[in-house]
Chain A
Amino acid sequence: MRSAVVDRAIDIARLVAEVASNSNGATLLFIGTVRDVNNGRAITGMEYSAYQSMAERELADIVAEAATKFEIADIVVEHRIGTLGLGDASVAIAVAHPHRGPAYEASRYVIEQLKQRVPIWKLEHYVDGTREWVGTSVGTRAAV
């Protein structure tokens, strides 16, 4: 298990290699990328920022939860921050397990929890030169 918030390009091949094992019959890779349109507005790029220490701790918690919940040890997650262009990977999740079922479930769990709980924000840059903080998830699951 490993998770990190990084300020460089995510090395996808390295993530896949990290979860590889002869005992695993299923390997899943999820890659979140910057797309060109959000809510109907054309985008030129994105700036991700984080409360880095808390984001890393929260991400580690999520991975540990997934490991326990789905009995899966081989999970690696990286989230990138900084300035990203269209098509750049902002997040990657590699999971591997002897069977595909738990791998799919763990991958889904990690991305959904990440989007709700991890203190990372994005500032969208639009083709018309304007910019806006994106705020769709209120993090209600995290509220106690």
Chain B
Amino acid sequence: MTVNVLLFASYAESLGTHQFELELPVGATAGDVLGHIQSMPGADRLPQNPLVAVNERYARKDKTLEAGDNVAIIPPVAGG
């Protein structure tokens, strides 16, 4: 199945993309997407424990994904 991965801020800048599609086995979790991101070149310099949002809601790392989900990596937020 394919999910849509969204990157922001330091993650988007260091990994050189804001969005890409990722092919995953059925039953894959939000944490699997994070694991993939953290294995990408340049990821070692990024905040190590970002949150993950699935379809615009913060999600647990063990949340099971569905095809077409939007999975966003949320590094430490700094609004205000």
Contact = CB atoms under 8 A, between A and B. Distances in A.
Interface of A: 32, 48-51, 53-55, 57, 79, 90-91, 111, 114-123, 133-139, 142-144
Interface residues of B, number: 22
B43 interface: no
Given A121-B75, A135-B47, A142-B58, 6 more contacts: A50-B8, A51-B53, A119-B8, A135-B76, A136-B76, A138-B49
Contacts of B51: 139, 142-143
26 contacts: A48-B79, A49-B9, A50-B8, A50-B79, A53-B56, A57-B56, A91-B80, A114-B80, A115-B78, A115-B79, A119-B77, A121-B9, A121-B75, A121-B79, A133-B9, A133-B78, A135-B10, A135-B75, A135-B78, A136-B78, A137-B76, A138-B49, A139-B51, A139-B58, A139-B76, A143-B51
A126 to B, nearest CB: 15
A54 B53 contact: yes
Contact of B78 (A54, A55, A134): A134
Interface string B66-80: 000000101111111
Interface string B36-54: 0000000000010101010
Interface string B10-31: 1001000000000000000000
Contact of A79 (B6, B74, B79): B79
B59 interface: yes
Q: Helix, strand, loop or mixed for chain A's interface?
A: mixed
A144 B74 contact: no
Interface of B: 6, 8-10, 13, 47, 49, 51, 53, 56-60, 72, 74-80
A121 B60 contact: no
Nearest to B59: A144
Given A54-B72, A119-B74, A144-B60, A114 B9 contact: no
A115 B77 contact: yes
A120 B77 contact: yes
B39 to A, nearest CB: 21
A55 B77 CA distance: 11
